[in-house]
Structure 1
Amino acid sequence: MEGPAAPDYASGSLADVLPSVCASLGVPSVAGAAAWAGPLALPAARRGVVVLVDGLGARQLGRRLGHAPWLRAQVTGTRTLVSGFPSTTATSMGSFGTGSHPGTHGMLGYEVLDPARDQVFNELSWEDGPVPERWQPRTTWFERAAAAGLGVVRIGPGFFDGSGLTQAALRGGRFAAAESLPARVDAALAAVRATPRGLVYLYWGEVDKLGHVHGPESLEWTAELEAVDRELACLAAGLPDDASLTVTADHGMLACPHETRLDVADEPSLRVGVRHLGGEPRTTHVYCEEGAVADVAAAWSAVLGDRAWVGRRDEAVAAGLFGVVAPEHRARIGDLVVVSGGDFTVVDSGRMRPQLLALRGMHGALSGEELEVPVVHVPARVA
């Protein structure tokens, strides 16, 4: 497979969304700085609500707009950006919360190496992970907004409160727990009405979950989109006149048949010289034993052929896949980065949970299905 093209970060990415909303609310780019327009130059508002729908890729949404009348009606206020690489939730949340690209914030995959401990950990569950604020020390835009005097409320499931991923990427302001989507919409409306200047963030994850389990083209996925669209319409209708609404996503998704995947457990040659495997089925980080990189690269290239790109860390960095990579984050990237093409995936039944092996929908690589996310902005009726 030819070397992959990097995401077009310069034309706009998920990292631009929250800074742009904050700019529209009067939050400066740095403390004491003058007012600025933000990367997306959104119209001014006094209050803002941001909804992130996990897994609602721009291409999947485009094919199902007939099932989403409220979103369809906002087409003139919709644009498409890239999520970033890898196109996965943990990385995207880092980009969204900090307003920086993956190589800068350093949250570089579903499972990544903590070099200080020579241990791979899961950046979603954060089980046995490092101190979140040390792993990702950059100031988040929720912290910036709170410091600028806005009432900041983040709404999601209760177990998100204080979790490693939340503390690393989304800390700042107050957390409010709510379970169902209608309950979260009610909590968002209550929060935005309770303050004259505020930023409210609402997360919803069922679109992603159903896409993984049933596939992003499934009836189940479509039914969930319909439910989300109805609740977004209720949210928009209930907002104060001086409040804006922004809807986005963290990544898209691709249907990946089990027949097209490779199981590392069935290919002993792929484990020779390998210290750790990380990443996820669409983008794998391969961490090699000392001096084994060339041999491991040759073995993986021979087995995978043109189904995936097998590149060394320096090649992936030079290609700009992660954006600009901070020196302290380079060792978190695999000695080899394996990026799947087509609908190909790499799994490892020797270490992956059966639930993960059973999934039908995947993301993490560089296809437009995975990378492209919508940004729907409904400006305030009065500034």
Structure 2
Amino acid sequence: MSLAARLAAAGLGLPDYGRRDLGAVLSGALASVGAADAVAGRDAKADQARLGVGNYRHVVVVLLDGLGKLQFAPWQGHTPFLRSISRKALTSGYPSTTASSLALLGTGRPAGQTGMLGYTVRNPRTGGLANLVSWHGAYDAHEWQPYPSLLEAGAAAGIHVTAIGKQRFAGSGLTLAALRGGTFVGAEGIDARVEAALRAAKRPGVTYLYWAEIDKAGHHHGWGSDAWLAELEEAERGLRRLAQSLPRGTAMVATADHGMVNVAGAPRWDVATDRVLGAGVAMVAGEPRALHVHLSDAGEADAVAARWSEHLGEAAVVATRDEARAAGLFGAMDPHVDERVGDLVVAMAGRATVVDSRTQSPASLELLGVHGSLTPEELQVPLFVAEGGA
């Protein structure tokens, strides 16, 4: 059975690469402000049409970390403004995780080209784990991810480009890899970030605004919790104010990088203590919902894949690197990225996880909400579009 068929049988789906994926957002925004020619590797005008946005002098793109389309849907009574501007869903890429998704949004290219293959990835130069959020263990961001970002391309084309986030993200490895270019504005609170976006929107151009709070609440309290719902309501308030305060001739486009599943009480295996999973495994990278399994002997990949598949049963789809490449799991793959991919790639189904307590922190093992795989809950992300009118 093909990998695509096995994924479908497990309730998993492939990303809509090159069409209605996260890569369409900044690409379409640049086309909207007249800079379609700055976009390489995508059809920016087609992306603009996919977003359903017209031509504007300024577009503010908001990334709501952790708000999946299927998490938003049950709570629309709490978010009447967002409900009123909601459009057809987009998809994340694989894995459905922040580092990979920010690179897809930022460059328009999938993880198979950017090399942003998960929360952690094996660094082929050192043999150790590289954390692509903290950037610990990774090498120079421009070498790790060599493609220019869309913000960088827009700025080079003469577009006024602004990126807004917490000050600590300025110049970080993840920022430089995924969203380099333009002017970075540090703003700590939600209201400060909205104010910064409104100031930037006074000039023609594109603004990117990162919104972290929903994801943090989901990880620590679970999506649907009181803490998570409070952050969703804060997003409703902040985005309503942003959209309604934007001047005429501008627009706000908001989306998310991934969804989330709650894993309390769900099946969990630990490679560190499970003899079946641990045999022949040199390193586990990625995250508990989307694993890269590096083997002591790559020639045993088929045999180990069969053993993992039998042991995990319906809780996972296990593929070799070759199968993942052939199925386009990571999108088009550049040769230099190949060695960062595990000998086995494991996408978890349902709410199950596989952890490795040898390398994961105790705090990460206690997270209630996680993501990374290809369930609709993780893969589908919302799209909100509103015109300015102040």
Q: TM-score range by the shorter chain?
A: over 0.9
| Deviation for aligned residue 1:296 | 2.6
Mapped to 1, the partners of 2:316 and 2:268 lie a distance apart of 11
Of residues 270, 293, 309, the one that matches 2:301 is 293
1:361 is aligned to: 369
After superposition, what is the alpha-carbon deviation per residue over 1:242-287, rounded to whole angstroms, capped at 9, x for unaligned? 2111101000011112442112222133222212110101011001
TM-score, structure 2 normalization? 0.92
1:339 is aligned to: 347
SS of residue paired to 2:96: coil
| Deviation for aligned residue 1:301 | 2.4
Higher mean C-alpha deviation, range 257-266 or range 364-373: 257-266
Mapped to 2, the partners of 1:23 and 1:31 lie a distance apart of 8
After superposition, what is the alpha-carbon deviation per residue over 1:181-216, rounded to whole angstroms, capped at 9, x for unaligned? 1111111112222x2x12111101110011111111
| Deviation for aligned residue 1:343 | 0.7
Alignment length (residue pairs):
376
Of residues 302, 313, 319, the one that matches 1:311 is 319
- The reply to whether residue 62 of structure 1 matches residue 73 of structure 2 is yes
2:131 is aligned to: 122
Alignment gaps of 5+ in structure 2 = 8-12
2:248 is aligned to: 241
Alignment gaps of 5+ in structure 1 = none
Higher mean C-alpha deviation, range 288-297 or range 348-357: 288-297
Mapped to 2, the partners of 1:122 and 1:269 lie a distance apart of 26
1:139 is aligned to: 148
After superposition, what is the alpha-carbon deviation per residue over 1:299-319, rounded to whole angstroms, capped at 9, x for unaligned? 322321221111101111111
Verify the 8 A CA contact 1:68 1:229 in the aligned structure 2.
yes
TM-score, structure 1 normalization? 0.94
CA RMSD of superposed structures (Å): 1.9
SS of residue paired to 1:236: helix
Mapped to 1, the partners of 2:205 and 2:38 lie a distance apart of 18
Higher mean C-alpha deviation, range 261-270 or range 136-145: 261-270
1:280 is aligned to: 287
Mapped to 2, the partners of 1:10 and 1:164 lie a distance apart of 25
| Deviation for aligned residue 1:372 | 0.3
Mapped to 2, the partners of 1:341 and 1:259 lie a distance apart of 11
Verify the 8 A CA contact 1:24 1:38 in the aligned structure 2.
no
Which residue identity lines up with residue 365 of structure 1 in the other structure? S
Of residues 269, 292, 305, the one that matches 1:262 is 269
2:227 is aligned to: 220
SS of residue paired to 1:377: strand
Mapped to 2, the partners of 1:307 and 1:110 lie a distance apart of 21
The verdict on how the C-alpha distance between 1:366 and 1:16 changes in structure 2, with shifts beyond 3 A counting, is same
| Deviation for aligned residue 1:360 | 0.8
Of residues 234, 237, 241, the one that matches 1:230 is 237
Stretches of 4+ moved more than 6 A in 1? none
| Deviation for aligned residue 1:320 | 1.6
| Deviation for aligned residue 1:25 | 0.5
Of residues 181, 187, 210, the one that matches 1:203 is 210
Mapped to 2, the partners of 1:365 and 1:357 lie a distance apart of 17
Of residues 107, 110, 113, the one that matches 2:122 is 113
1:154 is aligned to: 163
Verify the 8 A CA contact 2:27 2:36 in the aligned structure 1.
no
Mapped to 2, the partners of 1:266 and 1:272 lie a distance apart of 10
Mapped to 2, the partners of 1:160 and 1:355 lie a distance apart of 22
1:167 is aligned to: 176
Mapped to 1, the partners of 2:205 and 2:327 lie a distance apart of 39
Verify the 8 A CA contact 1:217 1:255 in the aligned structure 2.
no
SS of residue paired to 1:210: helix
